[in-house]
């Protein structure tokens, strides 16, 4: 049975909630998944000082998930990445993890041929920020030779085309509109799309 590693970075509960629903979708399809959290990094603010992490959101200590390591990537063949969009790209913690831990894996081709999907959260309604985040993340996947599986429309057409409800999902991957302050909780519709993505992703890989 393929085991999916759901790899996330969450500064509040949003991405974690989305990840739990992706996991639930995989389980509905008869699969197994485990959630891993990207390591925290320390920031330097614009004045050169250290940021107070308590003001930036939750840290690894606030979640029960295991910490993502390079070994996690090697040991699993299937990934779902949960990324909070930051100016249409990875947040610093995500980028730092890839830059600091995967150069050797890239040189050896250790991740080549592994399979991944992506889900995201963004501050505002509209697909630009979240779609761009997934597109930018594609560069990392391509350089490692990781095969990308999009959400598409087949399995979530009703939710993706419904104009009566805010839904941060798109054909590139499931998503969520979290609000400028991160205070908006994922809607029932958004959580459903994440379950649908988890199920569709597992259905795609289970016979490989």
* Backbone phi and psi for residue 136, each to the nearest 5 degrees, phi listed first: -65, -35
pLDDT score of 21 more than 70: yes
CA distance 67 to 186: 24
pTM surpassing 0.85? yes
CA distance 87 to 38: 19
* Domains in the chain, CATH or no CATH each: 3-205 (3.40.50.360)
Give the mean pLDDT of the chain: 88
Q: Quick: pLDDT tens for 161-203.
A: 988 888 889 999 999 988 777 778 898 999 999 999 999 999 9
CA distance 22 to 109: 27
Residue 88, phi-psi category: left (phi > 0), alpha (psi -120 to 50), beta (remainder):
left
Contact 14, 189 (CB under 8 A): no
More confident residue, 53 or 154: 154
Name the residue among 60, 57, 56 with its Cα closest to residue 40.
60
């Amino acid at each position: 049975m393929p085991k999916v590693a759901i790899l996330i970075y969450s500064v509040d509960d949003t991405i974690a909630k989305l990840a739990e629903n992706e996991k639930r979708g995989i389980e509905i399809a008869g699969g197994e998944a485990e959630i891993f959290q990207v390591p925290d990094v320390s920031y330097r603010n614009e004045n050169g000082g250290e940021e107070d992490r308590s003001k930036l959101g939750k840290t690894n200590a606030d979640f029960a998930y295991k910490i993502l390591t390079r070994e996690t990537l090697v040991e699993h063949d299937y990934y779902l990445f949960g990324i909070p969009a930051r100016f249409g790209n990875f947040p610093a913690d995500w980028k730092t993890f890839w830059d600091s831990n995967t150069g050797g894996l890239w040189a050896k081709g250790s991740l080549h041929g592994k399979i991944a999907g992506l889900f995201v959260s963004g501050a505002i309604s509209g697909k630009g920020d979240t779609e761009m985040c997934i597109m930018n993340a594609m560069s990392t996947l391509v350089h490692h030779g990781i095969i990308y599986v999009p959400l598409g429309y087949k399995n979530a057409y009703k939710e993706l085309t419904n104009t009566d409800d805010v839904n941060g999902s798109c054909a590139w991957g499931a998503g969520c509109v979290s609000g400028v302050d991160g205070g908006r909780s994922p809607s029932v519709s958004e959580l459903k799309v994440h379950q649908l993505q988890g199920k569709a992703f597992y259905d795609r890989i289970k016979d490989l």
